[in-house]
Structure 1
Amino acid sequence: MSSEVAVSVSAQPGPAPRNRRQEETFRRVLAAGLEMLRETSYADLTVRAVAARAKVAPATAYTYFSSKNHLIAEVYLDLMQQVEYYTDVNDSTGVRVEKALRSMVLMVADEPEVAAACTTALLSGNDPAVRAVRDRIGAEIHRRIKAAVGPGADPRTPAALEMTFFGALVNAGSGAFTYHQIADRLSYVVGLIVGEGR
């Protein structure tokens, strides 16, 4: 018998499927974007510079990323998709949820340039491409929280945890708290929401 909670995840609409070569090019540009974010500021990053780093034509990069903010949003989504799921039923709901939220918050905690650029890009205007990626990021976060909470939970619990998580990110992104401080504060809030003492 598995010690993992069963997770039902519906597919979130995303971009049209890419063939292998297109996916390799997309990944190369995405990796170059992350490398540049680690080395430079949001203001200095351009799609053209990322294209040069990835050794592709600027027009090719613009095929996949309509703007700098779109590229950065995709970088954040890619990082989020690498965050572990916490579903071990040997852990309490509170422990699973705390691990899930902590890992998502700390994903960019030690990379201030990446964190700042992602915050700026994701909160930027009404760019339809960024909005679509934001929706996919929200779906990724929802899946991880729902998986950590487990089946049969009151549907208000994951909703409250998501609102808490997004509020925590805004606080960290604004500089009110560090990502590490926010991760520590979330432990207390998780206990309140899932009803387990901390």
Structure 2
Amino acid sequence: MSSEAKFESTRRRLTEQQAETVDKLTTAAVAVLREQGFSGLTVRMVATEAGVAAATAYTYFSSKSHLVAEVFWRRLAAIPREVPTDLDPVARVCQVLRDVALLVSDEPALAAAATTAILGDDPDVEHLRLRIGKDIRGRLVAALGPGHDPDVLEALEIAWSGALVRAGMGYESYTQIADRLETTAKLIMAGQQ
């Protein structure tokens, strides 16, 4: 994760101690998700797992959806943003989409929870959803390169968000979705090389 992202929170800039508390909470959230799933997860339960007072946890996270969306955001922010210059735009876009699709592939409970959380209506989740979308857009723009077609960018963003929903609903694994996104990107970008 970028050092800047570590010290950010949806609600405010964090001190080093606050950042450590948020790290404890987001790590504990993944552990609780493994055991309880999203439906069983509570912020209070995560606080207990993290060794943090529930009131403290609620100063950082307004809901369990907010907490899980933050976990997803932090994992996304940890993916390197550099775009390989030795690949053509199609290969670069495929790499970006694969990296994002596989972000939570090794954590099925987190993957399902992230989809549910990111689609939530909590205002703090909305803020993170916009931040996540902006980050992925930036990665796609960099992969497409200068002079890209805005319609291609829009189609790739729709493909990614649709894939997230499809995987979150359990229709396919995130690994399968990564493969489908690659195929979809190639179809969208046919003739773009």
Which of residues 143, 150, 155 in structure 1 aligns to 2:150? 155
What is the CA–CA distance in structure 1 between the aligned matches of 2:41 and 2:138, rounded to whole Å?
31
- SS of residue matched to 1:187: helix
Instruction: State yes or no: 1:81 paired with 2:77.
Output: yes
Q: How high is the TM-score relative to the length of structure 2?
A: 0.87
What is the CA–CA distance in structure 1 between the aligned matches of 2:11 and 2:139, rounded to whole Å?
21
What is the CA–CA distance in structure 1 between the aligned matches of 2:10 and 2:108, rounded to whole Å?
28
Retained in 2: the 8 A contact 1:97–1:149?
Answer: yes
User: 1:193 aligns to what?
Assistant: 188
Count of equivalent residues: 184
Retained in 1: the 8 A contact 2:10–2:124?
Answer: no
User: 1:142 aligns to what?
Assistant: 137
What is the CA–CA distance in structure 2 between the aligned matches of 1:191 and 1:75, rounded to whole Å?
30
Which of residues 85, 108, 111 in structure 2 aligns to 1:112? 108
Retained in 2: the 8 A contact 1:47–1:68?
Answer: yes
Tell which deviates more after alignment, 102-111 or 77-86: 77-86
Instruction: State yes or no: 1:178 paired with 2:173.
Output: yes
Which of residues 28, 35, 57 in structure 1 aligns to 2:24? 28
Retained in 2: the 8 A contact 1:86–1:148?
Answer: no
Q: CA deviation at 1:157?
A: 2.1
* Offset from partner CA, 1:4-44 (integer Å, 9 cap, x none): xxxxxxxxx95321122212212221121122223331122
- SS of residue matched to 2:37: coil
Q: Tell me the amino acid that sits aligned with residue 129 of structure 1.
A: D
- SS of residue matched to 2:102: helix
Which of residues 125, 133, 140 in structure 2 aligns to 1:130? 125
What is the CA–CA distance in structure 2 between the aligned matches of 1:172 and 1:22, rounded to whole Å?
33
Superposition RMSD in Å: 1.8
> Percentage identity across aligned positions?
45
Q: Tell me the amino acid that sits aligned with residue 47 of structure 2.
A: A
User: 2:14 aligns to what?
Assistant: 18
More helix by share: 2
User: 2:5 aligns to what?
Assistant: none
What is the CA–CA distance in structure 2 between the aligned matches of 1:43 and 1:167, rounded to whole Å?
22
- SS of residue matched to 1:42: helix
- SS of residue matched to 2:79: coil
Q: How high is the TM-score relative to the length of structure 1?
A: 0.85
Q: CA deviation at 1:192?
A: 2.1
Q: Tell me the amino acid that sits aligned with residue 53 of structure 1.
A: E
Instruction: Structure 2: give runs of 5+ residues left out of the alignment.
Output: 1-8
Instruction: State yes or no: 1:98 paired with 2:104.
Output: no
